[in-house]
């Protein structure tokens, strides 16, 4: 199957087309999964093939990647794809939270700090709070960081406005 798929990639690479006075080439990234007795469901097969396809894109496109549950890189990628789904749903559902941490010199007797570091956390569906180490790299890699940045800035500015009105 891999030999045939690489022949298809070679055929696609030879295709060129003109559009708006520019020449474009055609390519593909192909994810392959074995359908055998260990296959649990059609959905799990599609998820595995999708993971392999994204891994092919990450490796430079125009590649064939065969899914293996023992492949650590594919496992990492699958976890990042799940993170993207969790980040998107958390943003949609309002499960991101901001915390303000005062910035004061060690040993300071400052009673009312004037500087704060804003920390983003996300609450998962089980109520667990996850820090940026658990979601930021996936957000950066898959183009969600701008949406997340906009949420952080907007939420921080709203919190500042509310604090100035009440305090």
pTM for this prediction: 0.57
Task: Kindly give the residue spans of alpha helices, DSSP state H, lying in 14-144.
Answer: 42-58, 72-93, 136-141
Token match 């907007």: residue?
A: 154
- pLDDT given for residue 107 in this prediction: 84
pLDDT in tens, 26-42: 889 898 988 887 777 88
Strands 129-130 and 116-123: antiparallel
Residue 153 has pLDDT above 90, yes or no: yes
- pLDDT given for residue 38 in this prediction: 76
d(C-alpha 151, C-alpha 133), whole Å: 18
- pLDDT given for residue 167 in this prediction: 59
pLDDT in tens, 78-134: 777 778 888 899 999 999 999 988 888 888 887 788 888 999 999 988 888 988 888
């Amino acid at each position: 199957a891999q030999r045939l798929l690489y022949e298809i990639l070679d055929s696609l690479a030879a295709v060129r087309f003109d559009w708006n006075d520019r020449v474009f080439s055609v390519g593909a990234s192909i994810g392959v999964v074995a359908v055998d007795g260990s296959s649990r469901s059609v959905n799990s097969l599609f998820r595995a093939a999708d993971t392999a396809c994204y891994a092919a894109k990450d490796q430079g496109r125009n590649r064939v990647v065969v899914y293996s549950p023992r492949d650590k890189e594919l496992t990492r990628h699958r976890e990042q794809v799940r993170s993207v789904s969790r980040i998107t749903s958390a943003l949609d559902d309002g499960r991101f939270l901001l915390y303000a941490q005062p910035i004061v010199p060690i040993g300071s007797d400052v009673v009312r700090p004037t500087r704060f570091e804003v920390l983003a956390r996300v609450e998962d569906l089980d109520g667990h709070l996850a820090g940026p180490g658990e979601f930021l790299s996936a957000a950066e890699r898959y183009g969600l960081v701008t949406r997340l940045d906009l949420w952080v800035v907007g939420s921080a500015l709203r919190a500042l406005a509310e604090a100035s009105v009440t305090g």
